[in-house]
Amino acid sequence: MHTRRHTSPLAAPAAMVLALTMALAPSVASAAGKDKTKPTTPGNFRITAKTAYTVTVAWSPSTDNSGNFNHYLSGAYGVTPVVLPKTATSHTFPALFPGNEYWFFIYAKDAAGNVSGQRSVNTRLPSDTTPPTTAPIVTINEAGANYAIVSWIPAQDDGPHLSTQIYLDGVFRGGVGRGVTNATLRFLAPATSYSLTTRAIDFGNNAGPFSAPIILTTPPPNPNDPTPPTTPAHLSANDTGDGSTETHISWLQSTDNFDAQKHIRYDVYVNGVWSDVVFGSGRSIVYAEFGENLIEVTATDTSGNTSAPAATTIFF
């Protein structure tokens, strides 16, 4: 004879609770054991050296119960942030600007994401009074009938923010911004030789020595090129919507049988009056008049051949 076992209606839920508890036990234990201790705040954060372009900071390192953390440093006004290992006790911020006031800060963060307190310090950099010590070394990369492309090795200086001035036959012909090491010279005369020199200007407006002069010679116009570039296509003119007559003009750049697009010249006319010139570009900004305005753009190659004008109108 078989005896029938009666199961309590509470037995199954109890078993489920036990199983659920056992399944959750590791995660509950993990949550209970999560690192919630912040690293100590770095100590004695201070400036140990500075020049017109750099600041060196130092500190007493943080500590953390995990032993796994990094130092985070940054600041205001163009300071580049860095993350340094726990053993680091100093750092030099480069490429700053002389005469500016800077604010720096440091904190520590461990692998669990706990963040320490923060220390900060501020200082003003001295002015740059030292000129570049050498001249740029200039190379002529390409010369056309009315242009030349030149590049140079930068001068040596105590800072990184050098601009360059360019002179032809002793006459200033323009400059390029800080960090730029090449330029395209425009509006040159065909079949002409120039004496080219350059010099560097630092952020403190101190001028370095002139480079040794080199001869830049433009060739004559291409005698085999009687064909103008194509007429600029899809010319459009749009206002800014602010009530002024500032006009933004765009077009598809022309092509030429000899010249690269970057050397094609575009002249912009408003109501028959010349307003702007750009090279190798499909954009310009001019100022029109109230009423109806005729906008025209022509393309000219280095041999002096000019396309028929593209035209559009805009009304203010």
pLDDT tens-digit series, residues 105-145: 999 999 999 999 999 999 999 999 999 999 999 999 999 99
- Which phi and psi angles does 28 have, rounded to 5°? -65, -40
How many degrees, rounded to 5, is the angle at CA 245 between CA 273 and CA 298? 35
Asked whether 218 and 302 are in contact (CB, 8 A), the reply is no
Locate the domains of the chain by residue range. 43-124, 137-217, 233-315
Superfamily of domain 137-217 in the CATH hierarchy: Immunoglobulins (2.60.40.10)
Out of 3.40.50.300, 2.60.40.10, 3.40.50.150, 1.20.58.1030, the CATH code matching 43-124 is: 2.60.40.10
CATH code of domain 233-315: 2.60.40.10
Asked whether 71 and 103 are in contact (CB, 8 A), the reply is no
Q: Where are the alpha helices (DSSP H) in the chain?
A: 11-32
Q: Write out the chain's pLDDT in tens, 316 residues.
A: 444 444 444 444 444 433 434 444 444 444 557 899 999 999 999 999 999 999 999 999 999 999 999 999 999 988 999 999 999 999 999 999 999 999 999 999 999 999 999 999 999 999 999 999 999 999 999 999 999 999 999 999 999 999 999 999 999 999 999 889 999 999 999 999 999 999 999 999 999 999 999 999 999 999 999 999 999 999 999 998 888 999 999 999 999 999 999 999 999 999 999 999 999 999 999 999 999 999 999 999 999 999 999 999 999 9
* Predicted pLDDT of residue 32: 53
Asked whether 239 and 226 are in contact (CB, 8 A), the reply is no
Helix (H, G, I), strand (E, B) or coil at 176: strand
Query: From CA 204, how far away is CA 207, in angstroms rounded?
Result: 9
* Predicted pLDDT of residue 108: 98
Asked whether 165 and 152 are in contact (CB, 8 A), the reply is no
Whole-number Cα distances in Å, 206 to 11, 61, 168: 90, 40, 21
Query: From CA 62, how far away is CA 88, in angstroms rounded?
Result: 10
pTM, 2 dp: 0.76
Asked whether 205 and 127 are in contact (CB, 8 A), the reply is no
**176-208: per-residue pLDDT in tens?**
998 899 999 999 999 999 999 999 999 999 999
Q: Which helix (H) or strand (E) holds 102?
A: strand 101-110
Helix (H, G, I), strand (E, B) or coil at 265: strand
Query: From CA 242, how far away is CA 6, in angstroms rounded?
Result: 87
Query: From CA 245, how far away is CA 53, in angstroms rounded?
Result: 43
- The answer to whether the 137-217 and 233-315 domains have the same CATH topology is yes
